[in-house]
Amino acid sequence: MAAQILNVLIFSIVFSTLAVVSPVQADNRAQIAPTQANLIDQANAPISSIMQIRLQDSYAPQFRGLQGQGNSFTIAMTMPLPKYRLLPFPQLSLLTVPASVKLPGNTTGFGDLRFLDIAVLNEGHSVIWGVGPAFVFPTASTRVTGQGKWQAGPAAAVAFVPERWLVGVLVQNLISFGGDPNRANVNQMILQPFVVYQLGKGWFVRSQPQMVFNWKTSKQLLPLNLGLGRVFKIGRQNVSCFVETFRNVSYDGPAPKYGVTFGVTLLYPYLWRGQ
């Protein structure tokens, strides 16, 4: 029951944010629009300095250790906070909601909620970096779609933007501190390098694998991926779309062998302008 209530609250927050952001954008139309190059970088960075709603679907036709297909649909929201809103430096947060996780065997359920907050410590430099906390909340509606553990740990990010490139890495180390006593404790690192190259006219290629290293079991998940996308406008709305293929070159236990990911992002660069 508690998980169901939390799910309702999460979706209420996401969609009420959509309703609030539109008037803010309308009030700031007279301001200088962000460049397309900047929007491409922001749309493809794991954490961003502009407000975004990210919709992403990943399909895996074949698994190792399981018979059948899998699919996951996630909703993610990036919410930046300017300097002195809460702290004397900018903060970049990311809320990820696994809204539907389907595993082989037709098991479908809600996943574990994830939240990340990075404080940018050297804003305005050629190399940007920051640190902060990461959390996982055991909100999964079924046993197999979540880990059943409250988790927290440190996170750090670094990014470099030379000409048409965006290069960086986001790393998190999550450690369980509570939850279902019958579930295995967690101590794992999630390493997420990201590389984006702008082709021009809004087009880009990207690679953003999420590598997982489990310190307790010595197991790992090492994917490779490559995608193509574009940033464009629908009316006044900035949108980013991409399609990306992936293959796990090293994995322990049940995991997808390969698959394809589709993503659509709504970009709101005017959220904090003029405030």
Q: What does pLDDT average to in each consecutive run of 10 residues of the chain (275 residues)?
A: 40 39 37 78 94 97 87 96 82 95 89 96 83 97 93 97 95 96 95 97 97 91 96 96 94 84 95 55
pLDDT at 273: 56
Hunting for tokens 């696994």 — which residue is that?
98
pLDDT at 67: 84
Domains in the chain (CATH in brackets) are: 2-268 (2.40.160.40)
pLDDT at 272: 62
Contact 174/151 with Cβ under 8 angstroms? yes
Q: Strands 149-160 and 113-120, how do they pair?
A: unpaired
β-strand partners of 178 = 150
pLDDT at 23: 36
Q: Strands 165-179 and 203-207, how do they pair?
A: unpaired
Hunting for tokens 């990207």 — which residue is that?
206
What is the value of pTM for the model shown?
0.85
Strands in 25-160 per DSSP E: 51-64, 70-81, 91-103, 107-109, 113-120, 127-137, 149-160
Contact 130/120 with Cβ under 8 angstroms? yes
Q: Residues with Cβ < 8 Å from 180, sequence gap 6 or more?
A: 138, 148, 149
pLDDT at 109: 94
Q: Strands 113-120 and 91-103, how do they pair?
A: antiparallel
